Structure 1
């Protein structure tokens, strides 16, 4: 009877093992940008991440991942020590030399790209496909665009405030019109203002005032030069501090930022 019971337990264990996903054969990925780490978790694929760069703080589970340097200066030695099957890089942020070295070593590289809301949604879908979760990627992409389109419909036809987004206060750096932040401002019913076509621009207080913003969004964690800034700006300019983790990352959470901005620009 004891032998029969042991055999029954062994059979049950085998059946349970067959029902659970096989993790031994799953691929391992290293994220090279906090926004990509967020996106991987949003797709339900965070368990496949073996490493992530500094400042990866969303969701809380990401805090437990090994660090591989910063997103603009990844540590190749730390990346290789994690033996990833693939790396998830951010176009125009991950150094090209790092990408070339990873590819030369036979490591697959996914390049996340996009500035417009539609381009970002496509990258969410493509990331899902790259990580073996095509359905999750499609759902995240569709949900993101659904929320963005709802905001666009609500703000359509309303006057667009001129919005300057300050990502750093000293020296002052602002988001350009064609950055993902600029497109998020536009999707929320605002009009991003910035000189020229540069994505991220160093400007002076006088130049900022010359852009005649109705609203300034301050993403800098540091101290805002409120006194000097308010003195230089038109009297009716409003300044709002915005969480950089909300608006400063091209992840599915950017839809939350667009909703937040729309409520600032066009309160009910």
Structure 2
């Protein structure tokens, strides 16, 4: 038994130099590895990367990426619809992130593929998808701990959403006044409304943002009207306008305004919008 142990120890000692060399090589490789270089092609992608703790890795973005405030200092590569493929390539990205596929992103993906640079999309369909996207970005960018902390906090807030008492309220979301546009087949917004005790009367529309008539809104007679992107001054003006046209929600002060960027950017601040809308729908229940 002692002889076998001695032989085993001798073999272990002979392996030690090679093991030490392998460890040194691994550590050196980790030290020499270049940090990620991320380009975001949508404001929500920018916000998600920051939420994952990797905002400092963004080397290029689009014009409307303005949140958090430090994102305003990132070099621009386009406007979200059009962007410069050549400029993107000169920035040597290791990951490009868009919102939804488009002709522009498909063309860019073809140029990135031979370089081994992935182009991924961040298009959540429910509030629960947002923490998952943050976790995925953290895993890709090496910021798992920060991403996990943010994801868990968002999940806690999503679980804590308090809907208005039943029955569900019909909610008309006005995103443009002239011409009049609303949100239609938008699974993410409709998921948010459902969690708050609301129903979008245009949820079955064939498109995400249909143009509608004033007459159709008056006929539907929604219990609540939410204005976006309007502030307090415009809220008062639109309430007076709808009241003049006979909308019951306007006469009963069941019209609310919400930050457009929170509502329309499918990222972490959508949870802020959900909390606001849930509170508005609870308030509207108390109004005749």
TM-score bracket for the superposition, by shorter chain length: 0.7 to 0.9
Partner of 2:90: 81
1:259 aligns with 2:275: yes
5 Å-filtered alignment, 1:1-268, equals: 25-92=34-101, 95-106=104-115, 107-151=117-161, 154-155=162-163, 157-194=165-202, 195-220=204-229, 226=238, 228-237=241-250, 238-267=254-283
- Whether the 8 Å CA contact 1:117–1:183 is kept in 2: the answer is yes
Change (3 A) 1:98 1:244: farther
Query: Residues 38 and 204 of structure 1: is their aligned pair in 2 closer, same or farther, counting only changes over 3 Å?
Result: same
Task: Return the alpha-carbon distance in structure 2 between the equivalents of residues 156 and 252 of structure 1.
Answer: 22
3-state DSSP class of the match of 2:173?
strand
**Does the residue aligned with 2:119 lie in a helix, a strand or coil?**
strand
Q: Quick one: distance in 2 between partners of 1:97 and 1:28?
A: 20
Kindly indicate whether the alpha-carbon contact (under 8 Å) linking 1:88 and 1:109 is maintained by their aligned counterparts in 2: yes
Partners of 1:261 and 1:181 in 2: CA distance: 11
- 3-state SS of paired residue (1:201): coil
What residue ranges of structure 2 are gaps of 5+ in the alignment? Answer: 1-26
In the alignment, the residues of structure 1 paired with residue 32 and residue 227 of structure 2 have an alpha-carbon distance, to the nearest angstrom, of 43
Q: Deviations over 1:27-52 (max 9, x none)?
A: 10001111111111122210000011
Deviation, 1:228, is 4.9
Cα RMSD after superposing both structures: 2.8
Give the SS at the match of 2:124.
Answer: coil
**If each structure's helix is expressed as a fraction of its own residues, which one has the higher value?**
2
> Helix, strand or coil: the match of 1:44?
coil
Work out the CA distance in 1 between the residues paired with 2:164 and 2:277: 14
> Which residue number in structure 2 is paired with residue 3 of structure 1?
none
Provide the aligned length of Structure 1 versus Structure 2.
Answer: 247
Task: Tell me whether 239-248 or 87-96 shows the greater mean CA deviation.
Answer: 87-96
Q: Point out the structure with max Rg over C-alpha.
A: 2
**TM-score, normalization by structure 1:** 0.80
Pair 236,218 (structure 1): closer, same or farther in 2 beyond 3 Å: closer
Equivalent residue number for residue 11 of structure 2: none
Deviation at 1:24, TM superposition (A): 7.1
Shift of 1:53: 0.9
Alpha carbons of 1:105 and 1:155: their partners in 2 closer, same or farther (altered >3 Å)?
same
C-alpha separation between the residues in 1 aligned to 2:108 and 2:120? 10
TM-score, length basis structure 2: 0.75
* Distance change (3 Å), C-alpha of 1:148 and 1:78: same
Q: 1:98 to 1:231 in 2, by over 3 A?
A: farther
User: In 2 relative to 1, CA 231–101 (structure 1 residues): closer, same or farther, beyond 3 Å?
Assistant: farther
Q: 1:236 to 1:94 in 2, by over 3 A?
A: same
Give 1:95 shift.
3.9
